[in-house]
Structure 1
Amino acid sequence: MRRADIVDTAREWLGTPYQHQASRKGVGTDCLGLLRGVWRALCGAEPLPVPPYAPDWAELKGEDALLKAAREVLVEIPAGKAAEGDVLLFRMVQGAPAKHCAIVSAPGWIIHAYWGRSVCQTRLVPWWERRIAAAFSFPGLED
């Protein structure tokens, strides 16, 4: 798999409406659903089951479940080294569990889904940069 494959596949999801816990291209997705859909398209079956989660799951449990799962499935890299096709995790509040993810689509750009927005490509502005908790690559990248 190449980085361009990841970005091209993520771009196919642009415009998919936001829907909490969903992962259906063109129908509805959240940020994790987008990542899961790209994984399915390029890697096959999802490697871990995704339990039901409420919008405030991270605040209620205080567990860093998203970060833990990413470390089991993806290859952790230094956040400053993230390139096209890599995955970024974000902490919405300092010290809180990571609860948002995005795919780097170009230098300074990410593709993600968040409350009230369809899947979109946005600039990785300082507001998002300050919230990066970790970065990961898909396993088996060729480039």
Structure 2
Amino acid sequence: MPTREQIVAAARAWIGTPYRHQASLRGLGCDCLGLVRGVWRDLIGPEPCFVPPYSPDGAETLGQEALAEAAGRYLAALDPEQAGPGDVVLLRWRPHLPARHCAILSGPTTFIHAHDGAAVAEVAFAPWWRRRIAFCFAYPHLEETP
């Protein structure tokens, strides 16, 4: 069972990986979902399902919370107020749009994410980002450290 510290360490190992849409290969390329998937593989094992092709604006085109629905099948839903290091946050760009970006919290004021035009980075979880939280999830079988 992974601990929060192990999840954060695994996510930090992806820092510097270039952005590549639909990719999930540490050091070679990933998008935000690819980062979450890669950390899963690093700590839990093979991914539980095949991820079908998706477009960068697919969530908005479909108008569904597809990312949140998928996350809810494999991750444990959390109240955003309870989220902490190692947890996954899903973010919306605008209040009326579905969540389409994900990141891994790395501390009380930082998170790790991949976004178009930049490599995976650990950045401040500033108010601009906090206002966009739509959903929070924990990796399964998370072992709490005392």
Amino acid of the residue matched to residue 58 of structure 2? W
Question: 2:114 corresponds to which residue?
Answer: 113
How far does residue 48 in structure 1 lie from its aligned partner after superposition? 2.2
How far does residue 75 in structure 1 lie from its aligned partner after superposition? 0.5
Cα-Cα RMSD: 0.7
SS of residue matched to 2:135: strand
Q: Measure the CA separation in 2 of the matches of 1:51 and 1:121.
A: 27
How far does residue 38 in structure 1 lie from its aligned partner after superposition? 0.2
Q: Measure the CA separation in 2 of the matches of 1:101 and 1:14.
A: 15
How far does residue 129 in structure 1 lie from its aligned partner after superposition? 0.5
How far does residue 106 in structure 1 lie from its aligned partner after superposition? 0.8
Amino acid of the residue matched to residue 4 of structure 1? E
* TM superposition outliers: structure 1 runs of 4+ over 2 Å: none
Structure 1 unaligned spans of 5+: none
SS of residue matched to 1:88: strand
Residues 110-133 of structure 1: CA deviation (Å, up to 9, x unaligned): 000001110000111111101000
Q: Measure the CA separation in 2 of the matches of 1:69 and 1:33.
A: 14
Q: Measure the CA separation in 1 of the matches of 2:37 and 2:95.
A: 25
Identity %: 52
TM-score (norm 1): 0.98
Q: Measure the CA separation in 2 of the matches of 1:79 and 1:70.
A: 15
Q: Measure the CA separation in 1 of the matches of 2:38 and 2:91.
A: 19
SS of residue matched to 2:22: coil
Question: 1:2 corresponds to which residue?
Answer: 3
Question: 1:72 corresponds to which residue?
Answer: 73
SS of residue matched to 2:106: strand
Residues 49-105 of structure 1: CA deviation (Å, up to 9, x unaligned): 211011111111112110001111101111011111000000111121110000000
Question: 2:92 corresponds to which residue?
Answer: 91
Q: Measure the CA separation in 2 of the matches of 1:102 and 1:35.
A: 7
Q: Measure the CA separation in 2 of the matches of 1:45 and 1:24.
A: 13
Question: 2:133 corresponds to which residue?
Answer: 132
* Paired residues, number: 143
Structure 2 unaligned spans of 5+: none
TM-score (norm 2): 0.96
